[in-house]
Structure 1
């Protein structure tokens, strides 16, 4: 009997060390220990060889071992039943989890509208580098080194001697297109630009622009005004009020700024329009002859006009947004308002 008890203790240690991780291992365990020809059944068969005075004690040891083996089996079976479903058990007819549809950023929505309007007027889209050299960003545009007008655009410089910088406007695309010498030119240049400005409800250190350029023979300021009148009415509606004010830009002469009546306050005055009722949306003018000459174009034969606008300001007017900083804060509460606009 002592030998059998020692064998039962060995079986108990074996069961304790077993890790049953699959239905196949569970079935192998059941057959080995609990099957009709298993170890538990065989141990109960040894009862006939035990002396009568020891049968009670031996029976108690056998019952405890049987309960221990069955508990191990039931525990492993419960884990298997509650575990991951087999691939064959997956119901592929169940509907999937819904996917939340995204939307375009409001800046991109307005950018596309602006491009579509100018496409109808025959303007093509041109693109250029955001990291630019001094010549294409400043000097070719009648802004030589130490020119006081450079103070209008506080700049992020990447390196000096030679000067490389983050472009302060998309006019660098215009100079590159003019240098190609393929006339006439009728392009718009959308893109991101950078200036070292104080961040506020009206300004940021980076923003988006759309600039336009048209160069051909006999281009006049009247052509410029008619183009911009058409653009504003297509974007904001026929009832929007427009005014031109004389201004100064080193790369155009004569130059002007164009204002429209503030659509946020209806002309009554707010912080976006500085309580004037008017919002300046773009600068424009006739391309300076020196700019044409710098880019290899005969200023005696060709004339042209140029204009530039900030997309953020247009978007603020379009959707009644009073703080430019909202566009770059990645706040879903703000961005989800444009879900329906695709």
Structure 2
């Protein structure tokens, strides 16, 4: 009888221990362990991160960090960290959290436009993906990459077509650059190449001209007409005489650093630079800024007309008045200069 009772007692204790262990396992794996009010939270795990780095991001988000540690160790996550951007949903248990941060790297949307240099673009992109601006700028200006793909430092910015793109957060500088080359090549369809050839322009030259068109006019409906003016000038060997190129040339000089040129003056036309399109015939060596896609398409699909001149329209700011003769243009220009003077804009 005594042995029977002892066996029952041992069995009961065993059941209690098993039940306790089962509860511990359930609590560790399947009980909600989030500690935030939003519907979701995100962690960003750097390349080659340690478990402690991941843990420091998780700690404010979880109720029971020790329970998470125990399961992470059991599931060997602590020695198999994956880089990326990961989502934790409110109410998730430890098992789901580990599954998420181990295998569900989420892409992000990155966007860029209106960048004036590779340096500016690298800084912009570095705020959206893991790669830093130094690594990005180095990859973008890598001489062997540029030469292999038909670019140089002056035209390198033209490879980056402004838009939104999907990337993983832990994208490297080289991966970002190579993907943008793919997007660039995809943009240049046979049809677009044929249009460029018909204009006697290479793709690099199209984008260089588009950068001038975009700096002259941000109005997409006017850009084909502006493009037509510049193409007319190129055809007859007339200097482009584009004021934005003078600003670009000026900003390369020490005396114009940290200044804003609001009015192009005769002194700017004397700057000795290959970007001075008053002194030099033809296109400058490269872009003066990143053009929108609308400006690139405007160059490829210009308006056919006989205009050779245009001046800003004081009555429709942002738009321009176009002229076929220098006399008409001078009248339009004087009208706009009077407007600038009335606004106190003298430089």
* Alignment TM-score, normalising by the size of structure 1: 0.26
Structure with the higher fraction of residues in helix conformation = 2
The structure in which a higher percent of residues are strand is: 1
The structure number with the bigger radius of gyration is 1
